[in-house]
Every structure is written in C-alpha cells, then in structure tokens.
Amino acid sequence: DAKTTQPTSMDCAEGRAANLPCNHSTISGNEYVYWYRQIHSQGPQYIIHGLKNNETNEMASLIITEDRKSSTLILPHATLRDTAVYYCIVRVANTNAGKSTFGDGTTLTVKP
Amino acid sequence: GAVVSQHPSWVICKSGTSVKIECRSLDFQATTMFWYRQFPKQSLMLMATSNEGSKATYEQGVEKDKFLINHASLTLSTLTVTSAHPEDSSFYICSAPGGGNGYTFGSGTRLTVV
C-alpha cells in the first residue's frame, strides 16, 4: 500500500465545511483512495472511496487531483458528531487484495 | 450493508490468564479477516491475517504463540491472547473484506489486563 501523509489535527466550526487533505504521491495506477473515520473507542467507519473521479455520497465528497497524488475529503456541514480521527488509505479495490495500512490520520475537532 | 460483529466490547482479566475475542461476519462470508491492535493515541497496527482453513499470517514482531488466531468457519475468526500481561492492554479491532466499500470493521474490544 502506498504511504499517505495527513495533517495531525484540524479544527472546524460547526456548520461549516471541513476540508481534510491527504498526500499520496506514490500511489499506483490500480490503487484507490479510501477514507475512514474513527470515533473514540469505536472501530473505523467507512466514509467514501474513489479512483480518479470526484465522488460524493450522503456523508462526504472526495476530490482527487488530476495527477492522483493528493485528495481532499470534504464534510459539507460539519457537526459536533463529526469529531473523530480521519484516515486516508490507498490500496487496490479488490476486496481480497490484502490488508489496509493505517497512517496516523487527522484528528478533526468540530467546535460549537 | 455488511456487518462485522465483535465480542466482547470490553474485558478485564487478571495477568496470566487468557482472553478470547470473537469476530463474526453477519451477512457475508469472509475467507480472510484482519486483526489490528491500537494503543492509546496511536493508529491501528495490523497484527495478523486470519485465513479460513489455514494458518494465520502474522506481521513482523507479533508473537504467534501469544496471539492465537483460529478461523473456524467462513463467518468466524477468533483471537486468543494467551497469558495476558498488562502490556497487552489495548484496543483490538477486526475487519473483513465485504460490503460495497471493500472492508468492514468490527466495533473493537478494549482489553485491560490487571
């Protein structure tokens, strides 16, 4: 799995958009970008994933640069419940391809 | 969607005893499951890959005889921490390939060894 780099922490005001960046400059052509989040003392929760096109679901949007070396997760209207550690992971999409390697993630704190 | 059930959610045990943690895929079959360990304020670290019908694959530095893994069926993997010591106290999480997003994680088990 390609290595990812994320800022250690970020703050966001409640109701505003939270933009979480991730660098993955060594990403391979067959690797997808996955985002998970982990709320304290819980297992990671899937958020979104993409290959090269921008993606949107009910939770978030994922913007991937054209060269695929970085991406941004966008939570459009952050709430207090979005406070968590957010992990950006790159790996092949095949579900049997192997393990996920977690970096240190970004601790997002949403403030009232 | 895919659900992975992990039990117990927390356990306290005495030093020297063994603890078993179960990981079940509820609505899909998983020939492979992954076990992670997470210390406070740290990221998840992969411990081993559990394979149904064969031996588990352990990551470098993880003691096979201490962390026994059994993948008894296509929906159940267990992790047994043998002769637990306080330094084994951690948050243990399993995951399985399944569901539209590729991987589903259990809710984790908080192990405290006293």
Supply the pLDDT for residue B84. 97
CA distance B31 to A49: 23
Supply the pLDDT for residue A1. 60
Label residue A100 by pLDDT band (50, 70, 90). confident
The partner residue sitting opposite B107, judged by closest CB among A43, A87, A101, is A43
Chain B touched by A100 (CB under 8 Å): yes
- What is the average per-residue pLDDT within A39-48? 92
- Put simply, the chain B residues between 77 and 96 with a CB less than 8 A from any chain A CB are 91, 93, 95
What values do phi and psi take at B88, rounded to 5? Answer: -85, -5
The partner residue sitting opposite A46, judged by closest CB among B36, B101, B108, is B101
Residue B34, pLDDT > 60, answer yes
- What is the average per-residue pLDDT within A9-20? 97
DSSP string spanning A7-26? -SEEEEETTS-EEEEEE-TT
- Amino acid residing at B87: E
Burial (CB count <10 Å: 0-12, 13-18, 19+), residue A36: buried
- Put simply, the chain A residues between 78 and 97 with a CB less than 8 A from any chain B CB are 87, 93, 95-96
Summarised one tens digit per residue, pLDDT across range A50-89 is 999 999 999 999 999 999 999 999 999 999 999 999 999 9
* % of chain A residues with pLDDT over 90: 76
Supply the pLDDT for residue A60. 97
Summarised one tens digit per residue, pLDDT across range B49-106 is 999 989 999 999 999 999 999 998 999 999 999 999 999 999 999 999 876 667 889 9
Average pLDDT over chain A reads 91
Supply the pLDDT for residue A105. 95
Task: Measure in Å the smallest separation between the Cα of A104 and chain B Cα atoms.
Answer: 5
